[in-house]
């Protein structure tokens, strides 16, 4: 047993705390999941058949990927970053166009906050079929997730849509 002189206890405690800050934290690769459900509102430029103007939809995705997880050496939240992929849907409930697709991208989080950038292929299935690409940039704090989604339809009747999204989820 090591005896610490009476007046040195605070200094030893501070020194031990500083040592834990410099110790390498445990890292591992693990399977991770992400999902979000958001309300989206924005505008679109489209052909006369599809219609330009206001767009509102329910934007949702489910993602799975591989993340590098870094645990905190002092017991706080760790962090993770990695890639993910999965299906997405942005449904306008027949009042506005509906899109389905697949996204792939990267994301990171530090426990309470995170961000992601995803891109993918998308198909417009209502009112007229079309194909194109989508990009989604998002962040979250306490699982409240604001972001932007852009959809460009190039096959079929052309359309470009940009919506602001706000909802719940991570990635």
Please give the tally of structural domains in the chain. 1
CA dist., res. 145 & res. 42, Å (int): 16
More confident residue, 107 or 9: 107
Residue 148: inside a domain, yes or no?
Answer: yes
Domain range for 124 is: 25-170
48-98: pLDDT as tens digits? 988 899 999 999 999 999 999 888 777 677 888 999 999 999 999 888 999
C-alpha 91: how far from chain center: 19
Please state the pTM of the whole predicted model: 0.79
Residue 106: inside a domain, yes or no?
Answer: yes
Residue 147: inside a domain, yes or no?
Answer: yes
115-135: pLDDT as tens digits? 999 999 999 998 899 999 999
Residue 17: inside a domain, yes or no?
Answer: no
CA dist., res. 171 & res. 158, Å (int): 28
Residue 13: inside a domain, yes or no?
Answer: no
- CATH code (residue 56): 2.40.160
CA dist., res. 107 & res. 136, Å (int): 11
Tell whether the model's pLDDT for residue 28 goes beyond 90. Answer: no
Give the alpha-carbon dihedral of 11, 17, 18, 19, to 10 degrees: 110
Beta strands 159-170 and 27-46, pairing class: antiparallel
Average pLDDT over residues 163-170: 94
Residue 156: inside a domain, yes or no?
Answer: yes
Residue 11: inside a domain, yes or no?
Answer: no
Residue 2: inside a domain, yes or no?
Answer: no
Tell whether the model's pLDDT for residue 24 goes beyond 60. Answer: no
Check residue 23 and give its pLDDT: 44
């Amino acid at each position: 047993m090591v005896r610490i002189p009476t007046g040195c206890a605070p200094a030893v405690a501070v020194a031990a705390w500083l040592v834990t800050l410099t110790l390498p934290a445990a890292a591992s690769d693990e399977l991770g999941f992400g999902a979000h459900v958001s309300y989206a509102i924005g505008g679109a430029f489209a052909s006369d058949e599809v219609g330009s103007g206001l767009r509102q939809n329910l934007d949702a995705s489910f993602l799975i990927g591989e993340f590098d997880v870094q645990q905190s050496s002092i017991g706080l939240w760790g962090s993770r970053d990695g890639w993910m992929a999965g299906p997405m849907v942005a449904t306008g409930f027949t009042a506005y166009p509906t899109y389905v697709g697949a996204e792939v991208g990267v994301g990171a989080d530090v426990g309470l906050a995170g961000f992601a950038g995803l891109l993918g292929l998308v198909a417009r299935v209502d009112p007229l079929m079309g194909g194109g690409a989508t990009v989604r940039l998002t962040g979250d704090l306490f699982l409240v997730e604001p972001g932007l989604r852009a959809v460009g339809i190039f096959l079929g009747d052309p359309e470009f849509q940009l919506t602001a999204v706000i909802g719940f989820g991570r990635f």
